[in-house]
Amino acid sequence: MTTARTPTTTYPMTIFHKPNCSTSRNVLGLIRESGVEPEIVLYLETPPSKKKLRELAKAMGMGARDLLRTKEAPYEALGLADPKLTDDQLFDFIVANPILLQRPIVVSPRGTLMCRPWERVREILPTA
């Protein structure tokens, strides 16, 4: 069994979090177990700006389409599968419908990751 470290603020981490998502909860648990208390962005309540979405996508080496949750109702209703839609347009849709944002996204000094599967967060946790 792993012992949790005393929470620290010296290792800045941010998680774009949805509390009722099990993957997001698992990622948050691993971060806390590592001894870090991250900044938690409840992105459904406080959606990231278009500029922030661009920064996150760039940091992960992804395009806007990679950030989309394709199984959410707005995806089909808004016709977001259309390959003619640009990243700029897709970012606008995510800002207007934050439920479309794939999660959890974690930002740390070691990188920015879409933590799916949730174990991926280990790649950017502080080293012992």
Residue numbers annotated as active site: 21
Half-sphere exposure of 80 (CA within 13 A, CB side): 26
Give phi and psi for 111, each to the nearest 5.
Answer: 140, 175
Which helix (DSSP H) or strand (DSSP E) does residue 107 occupy? strand 105-108
Note whether 106 and 123 are within 8 A (CB): no
